[in-house]
Amino acid sequence: MKKTTSTYELLKKYDRPGPRYTSYPTAPEFRHDFTRADYIAALARAGQDVSLPLSLYVHIPFCERRCHFCGCTTVITNSRESVSRYLTTLDTELASISKHLGSRRSLMQLHWGGGTPTHLTIEEIERLFHQITDRFTILPDAEVAIEVDPRVTTAEHIEKLREIGFNRLSMGIQDFTPVVQAAIGRWQTLQQSEALYHTSRAYGFRCINMDLIYGLPKQTVADFAHTIDEVARMRPDRVALYSYAYLPAQRSNQRLINATWLPSLEDKFRLFATAVDKFVAAGYIQIGMDHFALPDDELAISLSQQRLHRNFMGYTTKPAADMIGIGMSAIGDLAACYAQNISKIGSYHTAIATDGLATYRGYRLSHDDLIRRRLITFFMCNFVMPFDLLKREFVIDYHQYFAREDSQLDQFVADGLLERRPEALAITPVGRIFIRNVAMVFDAYLNRADRPQQQTFSRTI
């Protein structure tokens, strides 16, 4: 992607707060009148599809220290007692969920995220894994994934993870540049990351992802290009390239980052464009708006067959099964409902001890929500929206149902970001970075007068 004046004008025109659409409706729409009883009813409905596998997300919030840039729900501690108590509470939650699900117990996807899941010791990892397999059966071809922090993950961790059944790793990298690491309060050398990568390969991990972030404080194109070269040289199967979400009003730790250190809008775009150019030149396929995969990786194959899916855990090749979330702040997506747990650890422990579940808020999707979710998700995965998909799955005519929204797409067509084809809408290559803006046209909730958009979402670029 080459920088041109018109590209900069497009950036200025379309850069605004907007959702990332890991869910639709988005989390700010979740309601507090979605109760524990609603969640139990959703679990019972999900439990009726006995033959369908599930996805399970486990939130492990612990970290040794808080990075300045972090936007995750974390608990900073080195107390093994706190970890042990949390594992006990997770076990109670698992027991409660299993009871309401009945005999639907097979897993196609298991994902441990955080926080830092490898903050757990080997014994704690084994304990939690067995708590899960005591109640659920992991299918032979399931994705069993964990997020690992190269600063705390040992060879013994990797050996144990592989031994008990994990087959995918996601490594947090962000940026190797020392001045950027100082600005974000996270010090992690290339050697640490590379050593963990090679250890993981040696123990048989065939699917390794690396996370990078563009738009971080003090990031320059030249330095970030060096980070990308190092990552491409290591050859992970997948790379996630996230836009930095600077939300100091909501994340107090981010106030340690001086806003003047952040790259300008134009520089942020250059960082993104440099990464895209370099990964594509290195043989990676761009997946969705911000991921890359080697051509023989399942994600790239699924993209070519328009079989890519997206959920709270990111892009996936597995069909959109019902997803259960356990742990503080975890979100489940099941039986046309979202259900989110309490985000404070003390309240989470209390709720689980009292009620077995810790539902804090949620959402029951209407038929219209389901149609819009399918459209937005498919578009964001595949950059194309075939009209017959909606006809097949919802028996609706796109042009009738979305006549008002479609008229708002003219500006994207005029700017060369979108093509109207007889059979589909299609994002152009230059339009990819603006896919969130196009998706926002189909979001029925965004233009409500009472929505505080400036504080709710990160910027689209």
- Residue 63 near ligand SF4 by CB under 6 A: yes
Query: Nearest CA to 401 among 391, 412, 416, 410?
Result: 391
- List Cβ neighbours of 93 (8 Å cut-off, separation of 6 or more): 326, 327, 352, 356, 357, 358
**Rounded to whole angstroms, how far apart are CA atoms 33 and 287?**
37
Helix (H) or strand (E) holding 222: helix 221-234
Q: Name the one range near ligand SF4 by CB under 6 A: 40-48, 114-122, 315-323, 393-401.
A: 114-122
Pattern 170-199, binding to ligand SF4, x per CB under 6 A?
Answer: --x-------------x-------------
Asked if 293 and 279 touch (Cβ cutoff 8 Å), the reply is: no
Identity of the residue, 168 or 278, whose beta carbon is nearer to ligand SF4 in the bound complex: 168
Give the range of 70-78, 132-140, 356-364, 377-385 binding ligand SF4 by CB under 6 A: 70-78
Q: Return the closest-CA partner of residue 312 out of 294, 297, 295, 326.
A: 326
Smallest gap from residue 76 Cβ to ligand SF4 (A): 7
For residue 26, the one-letter residue type is: T
Least distance to ligand SF4 from the beta carbon of 209, Å? Answer: 15
Segment contacting ligand SF4 (CB under 6 A): 63-71, 216-224, 345-353, 433-441?
A: 63-71
Nearest approach, Cβ of residue 302 and ligand SF4 (Å): 28
Which residue sits closest to ligand SF4, CB atoms considered?
70
Q: Which residue in 72, 282, 294, 426 binds ligand SF4 (CB under 6 A)?
A: 72
Burial of 237 (0-12, 13-18, 19+ CB in 10 A): buried
The number of CA neighbours under 13 Å toward the Cβ of 187 is 2
- Residue 67 binds ligand SF4 (CB under 6 A): yes
Q: How far is the CB of 252 from ligand SF4 (least distance, A)?
A: 13
Least separation in angstroms between residue 388's CB and ligand SF4 is 42
* Least Cβ distance, residue 174 to ligand SF4 (angstroms): 8
Tokens at 69, concatenated: 């840039």
Q: Which of residues 206-235 bind ligand SF4 (CB under 6 A)?
A: none
Interaction with ligand SF4 in 289-348: which residues (CB under 6 A)? none
Question: Can you tell me which residue has the tokens 């959402």?
Answer: 363
148 or 357: CB nearest ligand SF4 = 148
Question: Which H/E stretch holds residue 160?
Answer: helix 155-164
Q: Is 114 in the site for ligand SF4 (CB under 6 A)?
A: yes
Q: Which parts of 330-428 are beta strand (E)?
A: 331-334, 337-341, 359-364, 384-386, 418-420, 424-427
Choose which of 23, 26, 55, 74 interacts with ligand SF4 (CB under 6 A): 74
On whether the CB atoms of residues 372 and 389 are closer than 8 A, the answer is no
Piece of 36-44, 60-68, 306-314, 390-398 that binds ligand SF4 (CB under 6 A): 60-68
Site of interaction with ligand SF4 (CB under 6 A) = 63, 66-67, 70, 72, 74, 114-116, 149, 172, 186
